[in-house]
Structure 1
């Protein structure tokens, strides 16, 4: 398994995001990347604007597509486990690290 703990967003990307957020009054942001990118991006956005809503693509590994096999399980920040293939969820509950120990 790859260790993503040392990955960060490039400063140029952060600068672009900040410029866009200043220029436009975004209410929601969407991440179409990997789960690791979701985590970095959403934690950065949350550090800049805690009121912005999030949407992400579902990268859950789905085998049965019915929530029976459990291959799509996601663990929320509160410890609750859900089935990503069937249950709608707020990406902030999966990817935002409130404690702030994620390297952004």
Structure 2
């Protein structure tokens, strides 16, 4: 059985593919697969503003996936990880969820 995705998901999936990013269809839907070039940084609540500024200051800004719910979540897609290992490690140390090294980011 093939899942039908909304036009917004289909459009974003095509956008990611055109950027050269890997997108996979799983039992839970479509996922963006992280690799040595792309990662996802998930934030909620008060940390979101801090992380946005941090990413901008470290030239890591990219598309943002907004996940609605009781507590709004954002997953910031970042590229150029090879030059930002310390920045990513600092985010991890501050408790931010980082999707990297083959982890799937649900779209």
TM-score range, shorter chain: under 0.3
Q: Structure with the greater relative contact order (CA < 8 A, sep ≥ 6): 1 or 2?
A: 2
Tell me which protein shows more strand as a share of its residues.
Answer: 2
TM-score (norm 1): 0.27
Q: From the CA coordinates, give the structure whose radius of gyration is larger.
A: 1
TM-score (norm 2): 0.27
